[in-house]
């Protein structure tokens, strides 16, 4: 029987590529999104993958949304915590709301989704959770104390939860993308982006599909011995 997968933020950008990659490997995919109904509808029309709207930063909404997916597609075997936002600014100019919203969605979303699905995965003896971190969570980034902290937190969350799932066939891993050509990066001023690309050894931005391939591997049966790890896909920008 095909596995059931939820991809948060799965209707555009990196998440869209992940939804399609998991569908292509035979999964029944539910693509979650926050509010861009037009893009979600266009995504469903183009791919046939159903979209489900809820805010991953809202604990009860995650419990309800995951229950709705399970009713529609079956018990959830795979969760890809991909939804994320930026609210950049240097500390002196960053409001508490900017801090809190990034923590609530980027890091809190991982907790909320795990609470909704991890227990069932353990009971059934198989599961995959892949959390999308960031090179900026590994290395830090000027003007991103909120985002870097949330993404760095994702890497710690991954290693801790991996230890809770290991004996029950549930793996928990992270991917740390470098700069990928999505709407999120399109928001970076061109002059800043040129300087960033100049520091990427392969000399270009990454493509969403290059992240999706890593996710598909980590979600496969063949990756059952990989847990608690972070796969960096960043064109050589940060090596450690």
Task: Please report the beta strands in the chain, taking only residues with DSSP state E, as ranges in sequence order.
Answer: 4-7, 28-33, 50-53, 78-81, 127-132, 170-177, 230-233
Q: Are 157 and 110 in contact (CB under 8 A)?
A: yes
**55 contacts ligand NDP (rule: CB under 6 A):** yes
**144 contacts ligand NDP (rule: CB under 6 A):** no
**12 contacts ligand NDP (rule: CB under 6 A):** yes
**134 contacts ligand NDP (rule: CB under 6 A):** yes
Smallest gap from Cβ 226 to ligand NDP, in A, equals: 20
Active site residue 142: no
Interactions with ligand NDP, residue window 94-113 (CB under 6 A): 105
Supply the DSSP string of 159-186, one letter for each residue: HHHHHHHGGGTEEEEEEEE--BSSHHHH
Smallest gap from Cβ 193 to ligand NDP, in A, equals: 10
Report the C-alpha gap between 91 and 95 in whole angstroms.
Answer: 8
Smallest gap from Cβ 174 to ligand NDP, in A, equals: 11
Token digits of residue 102: 């990034």
Residue 79's closest CA among 155, 25, 152, 22?
Answer: 22
Name which of 171 and 232 has its Cβ closer to ligand NDP.
232
Interactions with ligand NDP, residue window 174-203 (CB under 6 A): 177, 179-180, 182-185
For ligand NDP, the binding residue among 28, 32, 146, 227 (CB under 6 A) is 32
Q: Is 52 helix (H, G, I), strand (E, B) or coil?
A: strand
Angle at 228 between CA 101 and CA 178, to 5 degrees: 55
**84 contacts ligand NDP (rule: CB under 6 A):** yes
Distance between alpha carbon 119 and the CA centroid of its chain, in Å?
Answer: 20
Smallest gap from Cβ 172 to ligand NDP, in A, equals: 16
Binding site for ligand NDP (CB under 6 A): 8-9, 11-15, 32-36, 39, 55-57, 82-85, 105, 132, 134, 177, 179-180, 182-185
Catalytic residues: 147
């Amino acid at each position: 029987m095909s596995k059931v997968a939820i991809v948060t933020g799965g209707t555009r950008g990196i998440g869209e590529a992940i939804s399609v990659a998991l569908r292509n490997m035979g999964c029944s995919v539910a693509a979650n999104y926050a509010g861009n109904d037009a893009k979600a509808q266009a995504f469903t029309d183009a791919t046939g993958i159903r979209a489900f709207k809820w805010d991953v930063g809202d604990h009860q909404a995650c419990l309800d949304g995951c229950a709705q997916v399970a009713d529609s597609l079956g018990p959830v075997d795979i969760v890809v915590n991909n939804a994320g936002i930026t609210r950049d600014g240097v500390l002196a100019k960053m409001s508490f709301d900017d801090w809190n919203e990034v923590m609530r969605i980027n890091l809190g979303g991982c907790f909320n989704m795990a609470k909704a699905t991890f227990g069932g995965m353990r009971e059934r003896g198989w599961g995959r959770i892949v959390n999308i971190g960031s090179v900026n969570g590994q290395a830090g980034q000027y003007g991103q104390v909120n985002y870097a902290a949330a993404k760095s937190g994702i890497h710690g969350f991954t290693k801790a939860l991996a230890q809770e799932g290991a004996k029950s066939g549930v793996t928990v891993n992270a991917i740390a993308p470098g700069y990928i050509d999505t709407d999120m990066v399109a928001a970076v001023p061109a002059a800043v982006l040129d300087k960033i690309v100049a520091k990427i050894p392969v000399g270009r931005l990454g493509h969403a599909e290059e992240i999706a391939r890593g996710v598909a591997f980590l979600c496969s049966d063949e990756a059952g011995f990989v847990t608690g790890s972070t796969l960096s896909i960043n064109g050589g920008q940060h090596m450690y």
